[in-house]
Structure 1
Amino acid sequence: MIKVLHLISGGDTGGAKTHIFTLMKGLKNKVDAKIVCFIKDTFYDEAKERGLNIEVFYQEKRWDLSVVSKLSDEINNNNYDIVHAHGARANFICMFLKSKINVPMITTIHSDYMLDFKDNFYKNLIYTTLNKRALKKFDYYICVSDNFKEMLMKRGFKEDRIHVLYNGIDTEEEVNYIPKTTFLEKYKINFNGELLVGIAARLDKVKNHETFIKACKKTLDVNPDILFLIAGEGDENKKLQEMTKSYEIEDKIYFLGFIKDKYSFFNAIDINVLTSISESFPYVIMEAALLKVPTISTRTGGIPEIIKDDETGYLFEVYDYEKLSEYILKLYNDRELLAELGENIRDLVKNDYSHESMGNRQYEIYKEILDGGKNENN
């Protein structure tokens, strides 16, 4: 059985966390996998609850490289076949680990690494620069969309070192949620049967909530019988709330903050929206799909693989709030089409994006890498 050590920061709460947990389930009985993280947080606790093999190699600070020798001992003494990193912190550590091990080292590209720290000048200056340098040290790359593979190739990475693995979702996981009315009452939403449109994304510039709010304004000018829910927190919060006040639509848009109970949110809304400037293959589309909620999204990353116009939702170009508004109004006026899109996207996700299909593809990638020979330096 192939033995793989996964490295991840441990502070992850979004798509990377879901990716890892789903992948571990998909790889069960195929791969002997262990996770090492560098922060003890909810990621670690949830991994333990799921029965995953996980250990913390604690870092005092991001620059603490004492973990490198500990990792090399773990890898060399326990006969791992592959080291698999996820995210900027793990990539940085692997830059120093590379010379101490003799197994293939791979990393998953979960996002556009040039945009990960876009909202913070100093982090962007330092962490993005370090991550760019670290990425060059890896033997192989796994991208969560074909779009990201093309991105790496344009940036000089070798095509024969890049594999594609679309995100999958645990289709066997019990989807628990509270009733719609209970959820709306919990967040003090004044609901009187309106269409509910929601967006679940951290409040930062890459997620581009300004386009969402502009679309809200345009939509409400035509039809006031719609409410908009924003789930997430972040640095853009104050600016976005001020924007809704300037448009005088603050009674129609609800800022809910971070919602841990994601399925209750998706159960409450009728339409899911993404307005991101850059995306990979976001889990919020698949999570909404399990509740038969279709998505209207920007045409970016791997999203066009799952969102097809008039089949599973609608796509619009980045910043085109007028087209987003047009699609919201279209679905408001055609509830049969709305229900049909919801059925279609749920069936697509269950058939093509399960944890099993994800695990099978990852296993194939591991085999291809190992069959290609041991650690070849770039």
Structure 2
Amino acid sequence: MVKKNKICFFNSTPFWGGGEKLHLEYAIEFKKLSYLVCIVSKKDSPLYTESLKNKIQTKPFTIGNLSFLNRQKQSKLTRYFVEENIDTVFISASPDLKIASFAAKKAGVKNIVYLRGLAAPVKNTFLNRKILEKTLTHIIANSEETKRKILGNFKSKELEKKIEVIYHGIDLALYDEIAQKQSVVFKRRGSELIIGNAGRLTKQKGQQHLLGVAKKLKEQGISFKLLIAGSGEEEEKLKTQTIAFGLEEEILFLGFVKDMEGFMKALDVFVLTSIWEGFGYVLVEAMAAKKPIVAFDITSNPEIVADKETGFLVPYPDEDFFAKKIIELNSSPELRSVLGENGRKRVELKFQLNQIIHEIENYLELV
């Protein structure tokens, strides 16, 4: 039976990223639960294309950062929400938040929901106060760290009350099905330890620390390969540093890797050197693949990784201790196996997508 609630995901981002993946996954899951679902997105964007592939009602809409000042655009969006009888709107990106939240409020949308995934402070401006405190009905933070950052510049008790922490989830059945079909991205050639890192090559992701750790591993005589999946503005600098450290044989830059399941299958250990993360979804993917983790003990990482249970959390920015923990894992396949199994159990308990969707349903009182 189709439920009367109609849910809209508003996302005009022209490229594919974590927010777009999240919106599509949520839309698919709510549709499975018999909700009426639509996605408003930029025409021919990856999200627009994927929405059509998944037979989700899709509305093309293009905006810029100042579109919230364009009365014609705002009126057009308000009319769409009214005509489609939208009950709930999910918004993530800042430009989208400015126009869609106001349009939804004018249209009388019951639930105006901000999916906040960035663990960075929000400026206490008049516009932000109006949106966060007066316009939005609900704010979903993807970690306790993200919630702390939202509240950092605000003292409003009302704002705090409307923020709920709901983690991102993974469809384990689908993940396992895809993983079974995919080939590993790298085949072991000897007894070396296969270490992996995945993420955009940016300062925030901290891959410069990864090179420092790799240098220490080589100095300790550890036989290893470090697979780095991703691309970004720091790529050339990182490759230059790799040569300077004499690590050309140990480090492989794979570029953007679409098939993360095949990437994870190749690894013995997954490492994350990010300086901050709103929610390190890649950690959940690694744990789903039963890979032990080594990451810095900062931002939201401790909410995902259980230290000494599913991996090791290392004081930031201690590269020596980071290398020491990898060496410990290298010396004990049994420890790697135990931590990996524990990681999988933790994902099953805390980070399953269907559980997350039910948490959202309950928070918004959709059921």
TM-score bracket for the superposition, by shorter chain length? 0.7 to 0.9
Quote the residue 2:42 is aligned against: 38
1:106 aligns with 2:117: no
Note closer, same or farther for the CA distance 1:30–1:326 as it changes in structure 2 (3 Å cut): farther
State the percentage of identical aligned residues: 27
Quote the residue 1:184 is aligned against: 186
SS at structure 2 position matched to 1:230: strand
* Cα separation, 2, equivalents of 1:135 and 1:96: 8
Structure 1: segments with no counterpart, 5+ residues: 116-126, 371-378
Tell me by how many angstroms 1:196 deviates.
Answer: 0.8
Structure 2: segments with no counterpart, 5+ residues: none
1:320 aligns with 2:327: no
Tell me by how many angstroms 1:39 deviates.
Answer: 4.8
Q: TM-score, normalised by structure 2?
A: 0.87
SS at structure 2 position matched to 1:350: helix
Structure-to-structure mapping, 1:164-203, within 5 angstroms: 164-173=165-174, 174-176=177-179, 177-180=181-184, 183-184=185-186, 191-203=189-201
Q: 2:22 aligns with which of 19, 24, 34?
A: 19
Structure-to-structure mapping, 1:1-378, within 5 angstroms: 1-27=4-30, 28-29=32-33, 31-59=35-63, 61-64=64-67, 65=70, 67-94=73-100, 96-97=102-103, 100-103=106-109, 104-114=111-121, 135-136=131-132, 137-156=135-154, 158-173=159-174, 174-176=177-179, 177-180=181-184, 183-184=185-186, 191-367=189-365
Q: Per-residue CA shift, 1:287-333, capped at 9, x if unaligned?
A: 22222112212223332122112211111233222221111111000
Note closer, same or farther for the CA distance 1:12–1:343 as it changes in structure 2 (3 Å cut): farther
* Cα separation, 2, equivalents of 1:30 and 1:365: 18
Q: Per-residue CA shift, 1:95-130, capped at 9, x if unaligned?
A: 653663322422111112459xxxxxxxxxxx9989
Tell me by how many angstroms 1:24 deviates.
Answer: 2.7
* Cα separation, 2, equivalents of 1:325 and 1:214: 9
Q: TM-score, normalised by structure 1?
A: 0.84
Q: Per-residue CA shift, 1:14-55, capped at 9, x if unaligned?
A: 322332233234433264322111252222222322333332
Could you tell me whether the CA contact under 8 Å between 1:25 and 1:355 is conserved in 2?
A: no
Note closer, same or farther for the CA distance 1:267–1:129 as it changes in structure 2 (3 Å cut): farther
Q: Per-residue CA shift, 1:316-365, capped at 9, x if unaligned?
A: 23322222111111100011010111111112212321111011001011
Could you tell me whether the CA contact under 8 Å between 2:119 and 2:146 is conserved in 1?
A: yes
* Cα separation, 1, equivalents of 2:251 and 2:199: 15
The amino acid that maps onto 2:75 is: S
SS at structure 1 position matched to 2:204: helix
* Cα separation, 2, equivalents of 1:197 and 1:179: 17
